[in-house]
Amino acid sequence: MKRVFAALAAALLCASGGAAGSLPGVDQALVESDAMPPKLSAFGLFRGNDPKVPAAGIGYTLRAPLFSDYTDKHRFVSIPVGKKAKVAADGTIEFPMGTVLVKSFGWPDVNEGRPVETRLLIHRASGWVALPYIWDADGKDATLALGGRRVPVTFQSPDGATHSIRYAVPNKNQCKECHSLNGQIVPIGPKARNFILDLAASDKLRALYFANPEALKPVMPQWDDPKAGSVETRARAYLDVNCAHCHNPAGSASNSGLFLRWTDDPAGVNYGIGKRPTAAGRGSGGMEFAIAPGDPAHSFLIYRLESTEPGIAMPEVGRSTVHKEGAALLRQWIAEMPKASH
């Protein structure tokens, strides 16, 4: 991906010239309209309709990405020529109207590495709109799937285990549920603390799309790299990305009283430590606390992360498998906590 974006950099700079208008190949009028085209190719976001070669834009990765059944994800952002994104003082990234965040999901050993789906998050005059597209069997185009779909796939996880699942492409309402903040759809992953622009891109290309690219400081540790931070900071980074989009005071799970943002929420009862379930039900597995210090086996946060059963599993959507490595990190974090004195 880095080589792809580097090769495109010179062409993008020549084509854009800093003037207002559409990006090369991108149908900006369609992007900014209210239309929901049945085929992904209508937007012109990919060069030659190859999902790994964007027509224009700049690639990015995340320090701590959301777990989605071990998929590889290819991300880039398309921003209209003449407009720029800006990092706000609170670390959120303000993307201008006409921006498209593009994320493709797939596995290296499925369909010769071609993606299964591509999700668009489009900033229109009415707000952000989420559109899921599933790639056709021949890999030449993708079809809009507002109702979502289950796609049967068989893949290997990093530990060599084989998984056969019905991969869940979320429907439009499920996209809204996870991306909701104060009732409005917003991007989840792209925050300055977690956002890394394509490392192969030139400073000039970065400045073309971002007003203050120097403010993009990915201080969040990489959750699976012991050298990136302590067990606690990496565990909290994992919870921020995988849970806090709903578990925050303005999110869809605000009524739970469980808030899991990385640095915004103190590590106390509202963070789950010694927190009893809000309502009795299967989700607690009969356990007393979301996080029982020193006792991961009796922490229902772990119980829910390690379940795939509807009504118990957390997150509720976005996975059909258990993320063993992520759960292991959280188990270690809880096990190292001093046990509460009675």
| pLDDT confidence bin for 52, thresholds 50/70/90 | confident
Mean pLDDT of the chain: 85
pLDDT at 256: 87
**Whole-number Å distance between alpha carbons of 211 and 149:** 38
* Mean of pLDDT values over 125-133: 92
* CA-wise closest residue to 326 among 196, 222, 198, 220: 222
Backbone angles phi, psi at 166, to 5 degrees: -100, 90
Q: What distance in Å separates the CA atoms of residue 76 and residue 52, rounded to the nearest whole number?
A: 10
Residue 51 CA to residue 74 CA, distance in Å, equals 9
Q: What is the pTM of this model?
A: 0.86
Domain ranges of the chain: 2-215, 226-335
- The pLDDT confidence band at residue 7, using thresholds 50, 70 and 90, is very low
- Quick one: which H or E segment has residue 176? helix 172-178
pLDDT digits (tens, 9 = 90+) for 92-127: 899 999 999 999 999 998 988 899 999 999 999 999
Q: Could you give the CA distance from residue 247 to residue 91 in angstroms, rounded to a whole number?
A: 19
Counting Cα atoms < 13 Å in the Cβ hemisphere of 76 gives 24
Helix (H, G, I), strand (E, B) or coil at 276: coil
- By the 8 A CB rule, do 1 and 52 touch? yes
Q: Which helix (H) or strand (E) covers residue 335, if one does? A: helix 324-335
